[in-house]
Amino acid sequence: MKCKTDLRRWLKLSLAATTLVSGCRGPVQRFSAWRDSKDTAYFQSFAHQIEYPDVASVGDPDATGIPLPLAITNPAELPAWELTLQEAVQTALRKSDVLRSLGGSVVQAPAATPTTLDPGLTESNPQTGIEAALSAFDAQTATQLFWGKNDRPNNQQFAGFIPPAFQQTTGNYINAVSKTTATGGVFSLSSNVIYDRNNNPNQNFPSSFSGFLQAGVRQPLMQGSGLTYNRIAGPTQYNSGQFVNPQIGVYNGVLIARVNMDISLADFENGVITLVNDIETAYWELYFAYRALDAQVTGRENALRTWQRINELKKVSARGGEADAEAQARSQYYLFDSQVNDALAGPQGLYTAEQRLRYLMGVAASDGRLIKPIDLPLQAEVNVDWFRAVADATTQRVEVRRQKWTIKRREMELLASRLNRRARLDLVSQYRWRGLGDHLIGSRNPDNSFESLAQNVTEGNFQEWQAGMEWAYNIGLRQASAGVRNAQLNLVRENSLLKEIELKISHDLSNAHRQMDRSFAQVQTNYNRVAADTLQVEVLRNRYERGLININILLLAQQQLATSTSSYYRSLTDYMLAMRDFHREKGSLLGYNQVQLTEAGYSGDAYRDAYQKGRDYTPFAPGVRVQNVEPGPFSAGPFDPTAVGEELPAPLTTEPETTTTIEADNQ
């Protein structure tokens, strides 16, 4: 009966403790009086509201300190900013941390806008960057230090003495250093020191230090081994000394990080090409806007002179019908005046084209000056080596090089996936020096060999070792086989895309060459049109003044002269843009605009460190035989995307990994 009472009491205490830990709710109180009252200070009528972030604005004077935009102001009254195309490109590249584009949406989608920092962000990515991949081979150190207190009821008897409780003070200090090698092996060195002080009467020392110094080696022999696999997929991660199954299809090695960096550089180059392309477009469109405005202004002046001449003839002429002629001439004048306003401030007008160029250059929308292009379009026919251009376009285009880097990555992934179809066989060995001491560190006592733990360990009287192998095999290799098939399909897909890219480039290059021929033919045709229309206007003006023709014929000829003049300058602009398109499709736009891409140099300390390391690793001692593992070729060599007609490096064929022996010359 007493046992049942104690059990019930124990259950009640346990239930009470559980309730305190879990947090039992009491009855829900209804605040009906508060809800009925008019005071709502205790309530918030929303869960979340739109707020403004506490971030200071940049306050760029080019964006905030601009004057009123130009509209119908006479361009002749504004100071001119005479600018060449090369100066426009230089200004844009100097002020373009963000690689702007005419069709970009940096305001709506800033995350998708390319910048000059993108290659650096890719390289410094702590998860997928080159340094992150190299860090997997860095030496790792770990230290643990714990103190503890045990106080347990005792139900044992020691030599006729029954202590009321087992009391113990413990300490544990662990220090370990490990290093992963390029072949997937792991070398480790660790030490473990345990402090123990308890009230157990059957011990030599009231407190003692025990521990060991241990060296270990784990070397994969099949899956996870070799330079090739570890540089592609990265080394195998171990958990408490036990290997973890590799993530099939995940490749985070140094070579993959290197390819990702090259792809990022290709994307950056493509952004620069797009910026230069848009700058040249805006520059020549501004040139055309000036010429189109001149054509409309000239037409307005001719219409004004005709109107004034009709008014003079109306005073001295007895012919009838001069009133309708004057009205027609007046309407022609105001038509030209309307077209002048559109050519000046319309959606495709002079001021809009000038502001578009300003944006691409990264300068203020208005500063009181008006940009005036001073480079003249080329009026001579350009002949190109078509077959050389096709060869350059299908090899030098940044899109082709980017796709080839992607194919190189898929080839390495396929190689690593095939290596994953091997069993896991690791060679594991450990060697340990144990010791025990009354003190942690101290001098040797001749009467007591266990005076110091450090001295006892270094004497090497207690040594242990273990060597063996660990084997693991996924029967059926279902996941690894799926990884191989996936890598094969990825490689086939990227090769198909490369074939399609080359086909599309050849079509685009053909179209660009066609537009060059067409636009130059249009230049010649429209030039002859302008000459003919100019002569026609002069002849018809003389004939009208002599009363031989109707005014409508003269007004129509003046309108036709303005149209042909504008068409002539439009064809000149199209000819320059067609040459730009040809160089872009050919892959030589940067060289065509004298733009060079280069990487900034390292600091002086980096060069000194590289020189010192170079001295440390030169050359082999005489007579030493060194095993040198040479992987297949990774890169075909350096390439300058800004050079016109750059010769590509000789193609290299990827070969399987081979082992060669190098013997230093004894002489």
Q: Which two tokens stand for residue 110?
A: 């800033």
**Cα–Cα distance measured from residue 285 to residue 151, given in angstroms and rounded to the nearest whole number:** 88
**Cα–Cα distance measured from residue 507 to residue 512, given in angstroms and rounded to the nearest whole number:** 9
Q: What is the CATH number of domain 85-136+259-420+479-603?
A: 1.20.1600.10
- Least confident range from 260-264, 454-458, 466-470, 532-536: namely 454-458
The pLDDT value recorded for residue 663 is 36
Is the pLDDT at 207 greater than 90? The verdict is: no
Q: Which two tokens stand for residue 529?
A: 């049109």
* Residue 612 binned pLDDT confidence (cut-offs 50, 70, 90): confident
**Cα–Cα distance measured from residue 422 to residue 223, given in angstroms and rounded to the nearest whole number:** 5
- Least confident range from 119-128, 345-354, 480-489, 544-553: namely 544-553
The pLDDT value recorded for residue 31 is 45
Q: 318 or 534: whose pLDDT is higher?
A: 534
CB 188 within 8 A of CB 176: yes
- Least confident range from 21-30, 103-112, 356-365, 372-381: namely 21-30
pTM of the model: 0.78
* Residue 164 binned pLDDT confidence (cut-offs 50, 70, 90): confident
Q: What angle do CA 510, 516, 517 make, to 5 degrees?
A: 95
Beta strand residue intervals within 203-343, DSSP E: 207-220, 238-239, 242-243
The pLDDT value recorded for residue 62 is 64
The pLDDT value recorded for residue 665 is 39
For 53, what's the count of Cα atoms within 13 Å in the CB-facing half-sphere? Answer: 3
The pLDDT value recorded for residue 318 is 53
The pLDDT value recorded for residue 606 is 76
The pLDDT value recorded for residue 655 is 42
* Residue 657 binned pLDDT confidence (cut-offs 50, 70, 90): very low
**Cα–Cα distance measured from residue 659 to residue 296, given in angstroms and rounded to the nearest whole number:** 77
Handedness of CA 10, 11, 16, 17 (dihedral sign): positive
pLDDT tens by residue, 427-446: 999 999 999 888 888 766 66
Classify residue 38 by its DSSP letter: S
Name which of 338, 336, 348 is nearest 288 in CA terms: 348
**Cα–Cα distance measured from residue 110 to residue 119, given in angstroms and rounded to the nearest whole number:** 17
* Residue 159 binned pLDDT confidence (cut-offs 50, 70, 90): low
Most confident region among 95-109, 224-238, 294-308, 523-537 by mean pLDDT: 523-537
- Mean pLDDT for the chain overall: 81
**Cα–Cα distance measured from residue 503 to residue 390, given in angstroms and rounded to the nearest whole number:** 11
- Least confident range from 287-301, 310-324, 497-511, 603-617: namely 310-324
pLDDT tens by residue, 213-236: 999 999 999 988 888 899 999 888
* Residue 581 binned pLDDT confidence (cut-offs 50, 70, 90): very high
CB 76 within 8 A of CB 294: no
Name which of 519, 583, 591 is nearest 389 in CA terms: 583
Classify residue 54 by its DSSP letter: -
The pLDDT value recorded for residue 628 is 41
The pLDDT value recorded for residue 661 is 34
Handedness of CA 90, 92, 98, 100 (dihedral sign): negative
Residue type, 577: L
* Residue 662 binned pLDDT confidence (cut-offs 50, 70, 90): very low
Residue type, 41: A
The pLDDT value recorded for residue 459 is 84
The pLDDT value recorded for residue 331 is 86
Classify residue 156 by its DSSP letter: -
Residue type, 108: Q
**Cα–Cα distance measured from residue 663 to residue 533, given in angstroms and rounded to the nearest whole number:** 85
Is the pLDDT at 505 greater than 90? The verdict is: yes
**Cα–Cα distance measured from residue 453 to residue 441, given in angstroms and rounded to the nearest whole number:** 6
Q: Give kind and range of the element (H or E) at residue 82.
A: strand 80-83
CB 470 within 8 A of CB 498: no
Q: Which two tokens stand for residue 300?
A: 């307005």
Is the pLDDT at 480 greater than 70? The verdict is: yes
Is the pLDDT at 496 greater than 60? The verdict is: yes
Q: Exposed e or buried b for every residue in 21-49, given b needs 16+ CB within 10 A?
A: eeeeeeeeeeeeeeeeeeeeeeeeeeeee
The pLDDT value recorded for residue 617 is 63
**Cα–Cα distance measured from residue 207 to residue 194, given in angstroms and rounded to the nearest whole number:** 11
Most confident region among 104-118, 151-165, 312-326, 388-402 by mean pLDDT: 388-402
Handedness of CA 328, 333, 334, 335 (dihedral sign): positive
Name which of 218, 181, 182, 215 is nearest 427 in CA terms: 218
Domain boundaries, the chain: 85-136+259-420+479-603, 138-252+424-472, 604-663
634: left (phi over 0), alpha (psi -120 to 50) or beta: alpha
The pLDDT value recorded for residue 573 is 94
Helix axes 551-586, 322-345, angle to 10 degrees: 20
pLDDT tens by residue, 266-277: 999 999 999 999
The pLDDT value recorded for residue 39 is 56
Q: What angle do CA 222, 226, 228 make, to 5 degrees?
A: 125
Return the SS3 of 561.
Answer: helix
Give Cβ neighbours of residue 151 (< 8 Å, ≥ 6 apart). Answer: 165, 166, 167, 168
Is the pLDDT at 608 greater than 60? The verdict is: yes
pLDDT above 90 covers a percentage of the chain that reads: 34
CB 558 within 8 A of CB 306: yes
The pLDDT value recorded for residue 309 is 79
Q: Which two tokens stand for residue 444?
A: 């040797």
Residue 484's φ and ψ, nearest 5 degrees, are -65, -45
